């Protein structure tokens, strides 16, 4: 008899999954391969609609700006009507800003915080009531090693990722009685459009990493799959660092 797949028929929203070559796309493909129905939630200018179409009846694109509470309400309602209330949320959408404190304007700081931090809060808030009713749910928040230390980190980006780590732990504690698990992943350097640059830049970045290479997006997606599936049924409130010993 065939074993059910780890995410068989689970409904997963993955934000920022409309970047071709990004971590969200890798998560969407891996989740679909593992039986999930996947909502690619991203901005209209992204490749989200095309990526969702490539997943066939396991993919659905929803135009979502993670900073908009109204858009989140509409997204979750649409998904519930189309398939079911989401079982899984991966808060993956994010923006990078390589600036120190004294180079960062207030508007730039607010934008990074609004997307990386407030967007994650709004996503959790939008799915949590339905998850509580069902007494089950798995939330995975994408942080960064930039949110694990001070030195050498871009100011607003690091601040926003520190906050996501904190929100993850607070939410995990509060939501555990309702069967909802909340965990985070802190990737090191991953070869995605966010990093940009050609092979030379990737080689330069790899020279700082003990394993001597940057991560492929799928190497982060496999961690997200573990945290989203019942394989991690007793795991909540943890931070998985996926950085090949960069912060060891």
Ligand X SMILES: NC(=O)c1ccc[n+]([C@@H]2O[C@H](COP(=O)([O-])OP(=O)(O)OC[C@H]3O[C@@H](n4cnc5c(N)ncnc54)[C@H](O)[C@@H]3O)[C@@H](O)[C@H]2O)c1
* Closer Cβ to ligand X, 4 or 70, answer by number: 70
Tokens in use for 116?
A: 């990386």
19 binds ligand X (CB under 6 A): yes
CA distances from 62 to 75, 86, 143, 164 (A): 7, 13, 23, 23
51 binds ligand X (CB under 6 A): no
154 binds ligand X (CB under 6 A): no
Contact (Cβ atoms closer than 8 angstroms) between residue 39 and residue 126:
no
Supply the minimum distance, in Å, between the C-beta of residue 68 and ligand X.
8
Question: Alpha-carbon distance 162 to 159, whole Å?
Answer: 5
30 binds ligand X (CB under 6 A): no
Q: How far is C-alpha 133 from the geometric centre of its chain's CA atoms?
A: 23
115 binds ligand X (CB under 6 A): yes
Question: Alpha-carbon distance 180 to 173, whole Å?
Answer: 9
* 157 is an active site residue: yes
Query: Contacts with ligand X in 225-244 (CB under 6 A)?
Result: none
Catalytic choice (61, 72, 157, 162)? 157
Where would I find the H helices in 64-177? Answer: 69-82, 106-112, 119-134, 155-175
Question: Alpha-carbon distance 113 to 109, whole Å?
Answer: 6
3-state secondary structure 191-236: CCCCCCCCHHHHHHHHCCCCCCCCECHHHHHHHHHHHHCHHHCCCC
120 binds ligand X (CB under 6 A): no
End-to-end CA distance of the chain: give it in Å, rounded: 43
Residues binding ligand X: number (CB under 6 A) = 28
92 binds ligand X (CB under 6 A): yes
* Closer Cβ to ligand X, 75 or 180, answer by number: 75
Supply the minimum distance, in Å, between the C-beta of residue 135 and ligand X.
28
Supply the minimum distance, in Å, between the C-beta of residue 234 and ligand X.
26
* Closer Cβ to ligand X, 90 or 180, answer by number: 90
Active site residues: 157
Binding residues for ligand X, rule: CB under 6 A, are: 15-16, 18-19, 22-24, 42-43, 46, 64-67, 92-95, 115, 142, 144, 187, 189-190, 192-195
């Amino acid at each position: 008899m065939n074993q059910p797949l780890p995410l068989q028929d689970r409904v997963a929203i993955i934000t920022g999954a409309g970047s071709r070559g990004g971590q969200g796309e890798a998560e969407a493909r891996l989740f679909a391969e593992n039986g999930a129905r996947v909502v690619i939630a991203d901005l209209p200018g992204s490749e989200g609609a095309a990526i969702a179409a490539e997943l066939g009846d396991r993919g659905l694109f929803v135009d979502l700006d993670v900073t908009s509470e109204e858009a989140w309400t509409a997204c979750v309602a649409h998904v519930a009507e189309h398939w079911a209330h989401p079982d899984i949320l991966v808060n993956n959408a994010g923006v990078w800003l390589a600036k120190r404190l004294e180079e960062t304007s207030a508007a730039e700081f607010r934008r990074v915080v609004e997307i990386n931090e407030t967007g994650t809060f709004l996503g959790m808030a939008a799915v949590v009531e339905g998850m509580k009713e069902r007494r089950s749910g798995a939330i995975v928040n994408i942080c960064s090693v930039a949110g694990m230390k001070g030195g050498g980190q871009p100011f607003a980006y690091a601040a926003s990722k520190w906050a996501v780590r904190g929100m993850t732990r607070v939410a995990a504690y509060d939501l555990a009685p309702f069967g909802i698990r909340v965990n985070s992943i802190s990737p090191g350097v991953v070869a995605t459009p966010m990093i940009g640059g050609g092979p030379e830049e990737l080689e330069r970045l790899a020279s700082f990493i003990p394993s001597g290479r940057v991560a492929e997006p799928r190497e982060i997606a496999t961690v997200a799959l573990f945290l989203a599936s019942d394989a991690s049924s007793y795991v909540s409130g943890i931070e998985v660092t996926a950085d090949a010993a960069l912060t060891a």
